[in-house]
Amino acid sequence: MAGIIPPEIVEQVRHASDIVDVIGGYVPLKKAGAKFKALSPFNKEKTPSFYVDPTRQMFKCFSSGHGGDVFKFLMLMENMTFPEAIRRLAQRAGIPIPESGGQYDPEARTRREELHALYAAVASWWHKLLKTDPAAETARAYLKSRDFPDSLVDEFALGYAPDSYDATMKWARKAGYSQEALETGKLVAMSERGTTYDFFRGRLMIPIHNDAGEVVAFSGRLLDPEAKAQKYVNSPETPIFVKSRILFGLNKTKRPIIEAGSAILCEGQIDLMRCWQHGIRNVVAPQGTAFTDPHARILKRIAKEVVICFDADRAGQAAAQRTIDVLLKEDLQVRIARIPQGEDPDSLLRKQPVEVFATILREAKDYTRHLLDTACEQEDFASPQGRGRAAQKIAQVIAKIPNPIQQERITTEAVSRLQVPIFLMKQEILKAKDQLRRDEIKARDYPVGARADETERESEVMQTEADEPIQADIFVAAMLSLLLKHPEMVPQVCRQLNPIWIKALEGSDVLLQLLDAHAHDSFENATQYLESCDDRTRDYLAGLMLMDLPTSNTTEAEKELLNKSARRIFEEHEAILKSSSYAGKDTPENMARSFIEICEKRWKQQRLQFLMIASKSSELSVEERMKFLMEIQVIRRQFPDLKP
């Protein structure tokens, strides 16, 4: 049992924790006479109903009904117990909490407190190894190659996990931490033989902190470029770490964000640290997962605007689009910083003066204009079909804009850019609004629920209706089954497959989501990936994982044992292998090559048909017609057997 905290210590902590300072670290407070007010951190609202009284050291939220002292606020915001809130504020104020005998005693603390202590100790040890251990020379050389000064290494307490089977585990046990804590904290893993080993080995370690500055997780960066392993490995979720509730760096950047009223959202931890080094402090980054609704709610409490600063590659832009949709739900202002192709904030700040990056941030476009530019770049404006697709994309964005004046302005601009009649544009917007309303009704019928146990996931999960099973194109299903069975093929497909080749196929979003997870270092293996999927997708992919892939030795008797769906996918594999230039070579690598080759060929067959028709249009300029004819020649040289 945890020891009782003496009443005099509780009062000392209370007097040392000014409620305005503490709450001001979570929400931007505005002076209102003798009090302070803000939008409720507990409910979504447009008119402030949350008040803080510095004289009485109390708060009251009239929209939710919550109220109390500084301890109560922290308990509500961080889902803490009363003793945990006292210890958190005591740590903040530098007030020691006496423990039995003054020594570390695992039985005198809760499981969460032991995990916090364990993570802090391991982070400190790894940091010391990085600075002094000869075995960490590879990590120091890597940091030097990335122009990481010692001051930045110390600022973010980077460390080195020994390239050993059990060095960290032995150190922690010798320091007095239990094996149960190591296992619960996921610092060790279990082999197939039943032995435990260090989860992080031979990696540069980046500690992940919660808002209070406590280490709750780690991200490990691979140092051996020849190793066939994931570049980044992140801590699994634990009782003290839920990915959707953590934004990397927020423990340092919350105050700068509140003061600026704006948050710069980067993709990675290195990007954030580089920004910090150069004095750009109002920055955050998602932690090892996609940007989620809880992430958006965290930013809503402390900022009015978010500037998305993702990589310029396909994966980065796809992630930016999903992030925009999440941020719009919280009615945040969103701008998009356009990083030059092939660059990210880290590389740009290393190569160019900080003023170059600052200018990119300052000139970041409103998200609506960015999406309009992107649609114009992606679609073929020489055809009515291309302009129609662009109009549909923009209409979906306009439908989400809450301000009617802004809606009208963007609509007018879209009509001018797309050269479509305004009544058609407004029809598309109405369709998009109808779809949004249907989605809202579904969400109300199946509302958000949260698990009560604090040791389980704390992120909110939308309870949706039992949707119909995913009905993917048989070609997509065949490719997914290959990648799930042979995850080593994912990098090859990710590099060589152009998403536009499969975009029109049913179920392509499932395949692209998997490839996108790999591009963002979130695909470690099929089992881990399935855990991150929604129930409907997980059920579908789990079924594919149970299917065997065809080989040249597969017998008809073995095929007869398959169900109808599995047999169709099985036969699609065989057909693909027979029809590609890699026929007869049924290795996973050649099967992947076959898929990619046929994807490209199918799409270019359709593209050739479109170009042949479009090039005869009398509305084309000479330059446009020449462009189409040149593309026809390129396709025919690549695939001479294609027929329009």
Residue 136 in any domain: the answer is yes
Examine the domain organization and report whether 131 and 87 are in the same domain: no
Determine the pLDDT at residue 37.
Answer: 92
Whether residue 237 is found in the same domain as residue 252:
no
Domain-located, residue 643: no
Model pLDDT, residue 103: 43
- Using one digit for the tens of pLDDT, what is the confidence trace for 59-115? 888 888 788 889 989 888 876 788 888 988 988 887 887 654 344 444 434 677 889
CATH of the domain at 500: 1.10.860
pLDDT band at residue 436 using 50, 70 and 90 as cut-offs: confident
Which pLDDT belongs to residue 461?
32
| Residue-wise pLDDT tens digits, 186-218 | 999 988 888 999 999 999 999 999 877 889 999
Mean pLDDT value of segment 429-437: 86
User: Pairing relation of β-strands 305-309 and 262-266?
Assistant: parallel
Give me the mean pLDDT over the 401-405 stretch.
74
Q: How confident is the model at residue 578 (pLDDT cuts 50, 70, 90)?
A: low
Tell whether 329 is covered by a domain.
yes
323 and 176 in one domain?
no
Mean residue pLDDT across the chain: 81
Mark whether 524 and 600 lie in a shared domain.
yes
Distance separating alpha carbons of residues 167 and 204, to the nearest angstrom: 15
Please tell me whether residues 443 and 515 are part of one structural domain.
Answer: no
Position 4 scores a pLDDT of: 72
252 with 354, same domain: the answer is yes
Q: What is the pLDDT of residues 592-604, one digit of tens each?
A: 888 888 888 888 8
Buried b (16+ CB within 10 A) or exposed e, 138-177: ebbebbeeeebeeebbeebbbbbbbbeeebbbebbeeeeb
Q: Are residues 478 and 577 both part of a single domain?
A: yes
pTM, full prediction: 0.60
Q: Which range in 141-150, 365-374, 409-418, 502-511 is most confidently predicted, on average pLDDT?
A: 141-150
Res 464 pLDDT > 50: no
Same domain, 395 and 419: yes
93 in a structural domain: yes
- Region 549-568: mean pLDDT is 50
User: How sure is the predictor about 576, in pLDDT bands with cuts at 50, 70 and 90?
Assistant: low
CATH number at residue 355: 3.40.1360.10
Residues near 223 by beta carbon (within 8 Å), at least 6 away in sequence: 138, 139, 142, 202, 203, 204
Q: Would the pLDDT of 643 be above 90?
A: no
HSE-CB of 50 using CA atoms within 13 angstroms? 22
Give me the DSSP letters along 421-474. -HHHHHHHHHHHHHHHHHHHHHHHHS-EE----TTS--S-EE----PPPP---H
Q: What pLDDT is recorded for position 94?
A: 79
Domain end point (choices 198, 219, 241): 241
pLDDT beyond 70 at 408: yes
Which tens digit of pLDDT belongs to each residue from 358-398?
A: 999 999 988 877 877 777 777 776 677 777 888 888 888 88
Last residue of a domain, one of 390, 417, 451: 451
Q: At 29, which CATH number?
A: 3.90.580.10
Q: What's the structural domain count of the chain?
A: 5
Judge whether 61 lies within some domain. yes
Structural domain that includes position 434: 373-451
- In this structure, is residue 144 part of a structural domain? yes
* 418 occurs within a structural domain: yes
Q: In what order do the strands lie in the sheet with 50-53?
A: 30-32, 35-38, 50-53, 58-61, 67-68
Clarify whether residues 625 and 585 are in a common domain.
yes
User: Which of 148-162, 469-483, 488-502 has the highest average model confidence (pLDDT)?
Assistant: 148-162
Q: What is the CATH classification number for the domain harbouring 168?
A: 3.90.980.10
Do 385 and 498 belong together in one domain? Answer: no
Classify residue 459: in a domain, yes or no. Answer: no
Checking if the pLDDT of 338 tops 70, the result is yes
Question: Do 614 and 490 lie in a common domain?
Answer: yes
Instruction: Inform me whether the pLDDT recorded for 444 exceeds 70.
Output: no
Question: 620 and 492, same structural domain?
Answer: yes
